[in-house]
Amino acid sequence: MSENSNGIVRVWCDGCYDMVHFGHANSLRQAKALGDYLIVGIHTDEEITRHKGPPVFTEQERYKMVRGIKWVNEVVEGAPYITTLETLDKYNCDFCVHGDDITMTADGVDTYHLVKAAGRYKEVKRTAGVSTTDVVGRMLLMTRQHFRQGPQEYEVGLEGSSALGLDSRARSPWTGCSQFLPTTQKIIQFSEGKEPKPGDKVVYVAGAFDVFHVGHLDFLEQVRNEGDFLIVGLHTDPAVNRYKGSNYPIMNLHERVLSVLACKYVSEVVIGAPYAVTEELMSHFHVDMVCHGQTSIMPDCDGSDPYAVPKKLGKFKLIDSHNTMTTEKIVDRIIRHRLEFETRNYKKEQKEVALLEAMERCKLVAKS
């Protein structure tokens, strides 16, 4: 490891960071824990398309999303697809960190082979139960079975579902996705664990925050500007399905909790928050202001206004983040380019399977 003059350990991570989810955030959290200052390099749309297939989010959206993750200190735009020693030296980084899955170029070359050979590579554990391939696959299926893994997926009758990386029997452990199993430890790792300081203005906002995206990020930034301590209430899956319809939410409650907790503007999360903002809730969390975006507000089950209490108290404010991105628009992007994404997911798994088979052959040769 190189010695930085100020004694600060600088860590480098890079990747596509498409459809940024709690798995990406957890990887960056682990990387930051290995040093003091975390720099994240993000590839361009052109590079990703050439090596992997078309990204869902644009590079500008991906840059903004990663900057919004609370463990990230700096973002480098347009980072090279293959990580070189020159890149680490340019940004004065001691080493590179990546998950324990394999990332390859279009030619099947390990993108980290140079830093690995130089001993400037460290590995962290990949977050089981989620991948960008899996999230894209859920959107392609858009079925009520999309939280389940295994034979249930075949009930939808979509050909090639295993190629989307949704089948738990898929041979690649990196694309084939197991069910996400939340733990209290994981929530603690993502949470700041801090309470409002005396005199802090506490702001509350609630919603689905399904497939966390730049629209959510910009909105939460604006809401955080309204106070000092931001609490986000996350509605249950049945509640989200009631007001969003179709087969939403795409991400289950526990997945949405971690994605929101990873946002640097968020101080605390209420898991399974009630749909109506009650006096009890406001009193319990010492809420000074309740905010909502420009989207329509569906009445509660009894037909009442879920924000009647904060409105009556003069503690309600509509926020316009001037970002019109929605989860529905992301799904529409994917559906419109369905064939491209199906092909991308299939090719990714095929490359991983080929690599796994090669690794197994090497092990057999070593043993003989």
* DSSP states of 29-53: HHHHHTSSEEEEEE--HHHHHHHT-
pLDDT at 152 (0 to 100): 34
Spatial separation of the C-alpha atoms in residues 88 and 99, rounded to whole Å: 17
Q: Quick one: average pLDDT of 335-354? A: 68
3-state SS class at 54: coil
Q: Does the structure show a pLDDT above 80 at 75? A: yes
- Map tokens 């690995």 to a residue: 116
pLDDT at 173 (0 to 100): 40
Q: Quick one: average pLDDT of 336-351? A: 68
Least confident of 33-42, 173-182, 358-367: 173-182
3-state SS class at 153: helix
Length of the chain: 368
Q: Name residues whose C-beta falls within 8 Å of residue 137's C-beta, 6 or more positions apart in sequence.
A: 161, 164, 165, 166, 345
pLDDT band for 3, please (50, 70, 90 cuts): low
Q: Does the structure show a pLDDT above 90 at 343? A: no
Mean pLDDT of the chain: 84
pLDDT band for 105, please (50, 70, 90 cuts): confident
Q: Quick one: average pLDDT of 175-183? A: 55
Which tokens belong to 351? 């490359």
pLDDT band for 52, please (50, 70, 90 cuts): confident
Q: Quick one: average pLDDT of 170-189? A: 60
pLDDT at 286 (0 to 100): 97
Cα 178 to Cα 43, 66, 247: the distances in Å are 27, 25, 21
CATH 3.30.160.110 describes domain 10-124: no
Q: Quick one: average pLDDT of 294-310? A: 95
What whole-number percentage of the chain has pLDDT above 70?
82
* From-to residues of CATH 3.40.50.620 in the chain: 10-124, 184-318
Least confident of 74-88, 143-157, 250-264, 273-287: 143-157
pLDDT at 266 (0 to 100): 97
Spatial separation of the C-alpha atoms in residues 89 and 76, rounded to whole Å: 14
pLDDT at 338 (0 to 100): 67
Q: Does the structure show a pLDDT above 70 at 285? A: yes
Q: Does the structure show a pLDDT above 60 at 179? A: no
Name the more confident of 4 and 86. Answer: 86
Q: Does the structure show a pLDDT above 80 at 221? A: yes
Which residues make beta-bridge pairs with 70?
none
Identity at 107, one-letter amino acid code? D
Fold of 184-318: Rossmann fold (3.40.50)
pLDDT at 175 (0 to 100): 38
Q: Does the structure show a pLDDT above 60 at 199? A: yes
Q: Name residues whose C-beta falls within 8 Å of residue 323's C-beta, 6 or more positions apart in sequence.
A: 214, 215, 218, 219
Phi and psi at 238, nearest 5°, equal -60, -40
Cα 364 to Cα 100, 347, 359: the distances in Å are 21, 26, 9
